[in-house]
Structure 1
Amino acid sequence: MELPLVVGVDGSEPSLGAVDWAADEAALRGVPLRVVYASLWERYEGIAPAQAPNKPSDQVMAEDIVAGAARRAQGRHADLKVVTDVLPEEPEYALVRESRTACALVVGTRGRGGIVDMLLGSVSLTLAAHADCPVIVLRGSHDNQAAPDTHGRIIVGVGEHPEHSAAVRFALEEAQRRRVPLEAVRAWRRTAPATTDQALPTAESARQPERQAAEELDEALGDAPVDVEIHPRTAEGHARKVLLDASHGADLLVIGAHRRGDRFGLQLGRVAHTVLHHSACPVAVVPQRW
């Protein structure tokens, strides 16, 4: 079965940008685009649709919002198959359920007040933490970096278990589709002495963390397609800072998110939280089951 790419819309400016991005992505993948509106969205985000600035949000029909989004998507790609749906329930529940039968899910970032670029909306954060498919959150739209292939580069953060990295596989496929280079980054940190009495590390032992990072990077990229240009890079420092720095020159930043089988408890780590809130480009969160 051909799984669609799903985009969540609410009529706001961020969701209109998400429609553009999702339409381009669906066309690249050759899959249908499914436009979904969850009708209780304003209850959580408190933002009126952009298409009706002088009209109360409860007078804007959901059908008009999804129909407008569909026209917008087909205006970019006339041959793209677009289907729409209105779901009368909380957006978190609706879109997490949609993720079970989607190849990917695209949403716009949502903030509050005058700090929209610094805060991520509750819907986007919940989806990144619980969706069953990759979730693409359009960070960076304030400076037009949400447009595909502005920089011609994709970044992927390689984690601690590269042999099971769904994020790396996703990033490789994206780079292959877009025909752009992939920069694979593995952050590392020097090992500090456990106590003040412990001997300082030798030059050989001090290089061990960097060597290990390089080996893990090689392992993660071992099955990379030959037609993808890859730039592996190790970087000393906290992973969240390394990836945020890299996001300023990228079209897409790909990270992994571990999923527990019981689906309870915290599903996003510190790196994912930081990147989702502050990345300068769109972020793809790819679930990795354990």
Structure 2
Amino acid sequence: MELPLVVGVDGSESSLRAVDWATDEAALRGVPLRLVYASLWERYEGAALAEGLGRPSEQVMAEDIVEAAARRAHRRAPEVKVTTGVLPDDAASVLLNEAHTAAALVVGSRGRSGLAELLLGSVSLTVAGRAACPVIVLRGNQDNQARAGTHRRVVLGVAEEPHSTAATRFAFEEAEARKVTLDAVRAWRCPAYESTDHPLLAGEPARLHEQRAAEILDSALSKAAAEHPAVALRRRTAEGSARRILLDASDDADLLVVGVRRHHGLAGLQLGRVAHTLLHHSACPVAVVPQRG
């Protein structure tokens, strides 16, 4: 049985954008789409939903919301099988439970511009930090589609092996499904204490760090590249912090993929500084892919 893409819906604009994006993604992958509504959603996101729909909150029925979302998905991609669920729990708990039987979760961010765009909702942040499956958070002003996109480029932030294996595989699959270039990036930095003022040696420490970054790239990508020979792969090393380099790369990407380590038995968010920054500031959708370790 193929695992579905799962989307949390609440009738808001951001969740409808997530439905559109996930419908395209499901069509690309050839997998089912599952739309879920948490009956305690307002505990997290407030009562603004009801006001936005022009009805008092007691009249906003969960069945209406998921059925409208299902009709929207069917109009967009009639070939995608859609199922729905109304589950009596808070939004984060519902999505985290669904993650155990999902190919990926797709969640929206709160706004399109200004301060609203910088504020990632608590549900999205919690799910990205704890889910057992990949989580795609729709950052930026994307055009509500997961097809080839505007830039025709998926960016992968490459970490040390073996912790980047799952993210690498996910990024190759996305690039292949979309028929776009995969831009694999490894950031490197030369610590200040390794530098020297001698003009003949000034470049040596930096060269060694750059060489090490290139070796990490080759090691991380070799297996997946052999398994996906149709993917146009571009390797790139860049000097600087991973957060800055990947944020810059998100400006002209359709999807940014990063891996995060999940430590068995630990509670709370398990994102790391790079993923946390990207989720709040990326200019394009971000896929957070868990790697056990």
Pairwise TM-score range, normalised by the shorter structure: over 0.9
Q: Which amino acid aligns with 1:227?
A: A
Aligned residues of 2:171 and 2:182 also touching (Cα < 8 A):
yes
| 2:235 aligned residue | 232
Aligned residues of 1:163 and 1:219 also touching (Cα < 8 A):
no
Q: How does 1:30-109 map to 2 (within 5 A)?
A: 30-49=30-49, 53-109=53-109
Deviation at 1:72, TM superposition (A): 0.3
- 1:281 corresponds to 2:284: yes
3-state SS, counterpart of residue 192 of structure 2: coil
Deviation at 1:95, TM superposition (A): 0.5
- 1:144 corresponds to 2:142: yes
Q: Which amino acid aligns with 2:265?
A: D
- 1:205 corresponds to 2:208: no
* Structure 2: stretches of 5+ with no match in the other structure: none
Q: Which amino acid aligns with 2:214?
A: A
3-state SS, counterpart of residue 253 of structure 2: coil
Equivalent in 253, 257, 279 of residue 254 of structure 1 = 257
Over 4 Å off, 4+ runs: 111-114, 198-202
Deviation at 1:131, TM superposition (A): 0.5
Distance 1:281 1:47 in 2: 28
3-state SS, counterpart of residue 170 of structure 1: helix
Deviation at 1:277, TM superposition (A): 0.2
| 1:24 aligned residue | 24
* Structure 1: stretches of 5+ with no match in the other structure: none
Distance 2:42 2:252 in 1: 33
TM-score (norm 1): 0.93
Q: Which amino acid aligns with 1:277?
A: H
- 1:8 corresponds to 2:45: no
Distance 2:170 2:207 in 1: 30
Residues 42 and 111 of structure 1: CA distance in aligned 2, closer, same or farther (over 3 Å) = farther
Q: Which amino acid aligns with 2:34?
A: R
Distance 1:112 1:226 in 2: 36
Residues 112 and 205 of structure 1: CA distance in aligned 2, closer, same or farther (over 3 Å) = closer
- 1:184 corresponds to 2:170: no
Task: Give identity over the alignment, percent.
Answer: 62
Residues 50 and 158 of structure 1: CA distance in aligned 2, closer, same or farther (over 3 Å) = farther
Deviation at 1:273, TM superposition (A): 0.6
**91-100 or 47-56: bigger deviation:** 47-56
Aligned residues of 1:193 and 1:199 also touching (Cα < 8 A):
no
Deviation at 1:199, TM superposition (A): 7.3
Residues 47 and 254 of structure 1: CA distance in aligned 2, closer, same or farther (over 3 Å) = farther
| 2:134 aligned residue | 134
| 1:116 aligned residue | 116
Aligned residues of 1:186 and 1:233 also touching (Cα < 8 A):
yes
The number of residue pairs the alignment matches comes to 286
Distance 2:51 2:20 in 1: 15
Q: Counting helix residues as a fraction of each chain, which structure ranks higher?
A: 2
Residues 266 and 137 of structure 1: CA distance in aligned 2, closer, same or farther (over 3 Å) = closer
3-state SS, counterpart of residue 3 of structure 1: coil
Distance 2:282 2:113 in 1: 19
